[in-house]
A = this chain, B = another copy of it.
């Protein structure tokens, strides 16, 4: 089974979590996707450029990061397959992206252009519904992320990550994790030694 076929199966499964797309509609959707290969550390979306594609991550995981005015790097999110990713703000507004999205391992990724997606929205109400449902889910995830910041200490959030994604934590450099948790690498190192 080829890479792209595996990805398509995962995409079909993912979509079916949200709504029942009949075969012709799914084919219409699929016909507009391309497959791309990304290497470890390569950027899927780059700061300063318009994110003109929506990506479907069927495997692997990515890191969202950006630079503060003072030049320091901030990891704002990790995303684990499967799911759609891009710089949504850039994609929706078609304005230059603030964030970078970086692959944390080699992976093949499906993607569709903004133009093609808008055409699909115009012609296939079911696909527009999928867009609405995915946007709603993206909002829910974002709100959850925000609440975890407001409610939980860096230590709580670290322990949660360890429990939820143990296989990934091992592969994420501590400095990225620290930034994601909103502390310095030194502080995270101390959290680790405390909670061993």
Contacts and interface: CB of A to CB of B under 8 A. Distances in A.
Interface of A: 66, 68-69, 74, 76, 88-89, 92-93, 98, 121, 125, 128-129, 131-132, 135-136, 138-140, 142-147, 149-151, 182
A152 to B, nearest CB: 9
Contacts of A68: 151
B150 A74 contact: yes
**What number of copies of this chain does the assembly contain?**
2
Contacts of A121: 129, 132
A25 to B, nearest CB: 14
Contacts of A142: 139, 142-143, 146
Contact of A149 (B89, B131, B146): B146
Given A135-B135, A135-B136, A98 B147 contact: yes
Most chain-B CB neighbours within 10 Å: which of A66, A98, A150, A182?
A150
A115 to B, nearest CB: 17
A68 B147 CA distance: 10
Nearest to A150: B74
A76 B146 contact: yes
A144 B93 CA distance: 13
A69 to B, nearest CB: 8
A140 B89 contact: yes
Contacts of A132: 121, 128, 131-132, 135
Contacts of A149: 146, 149
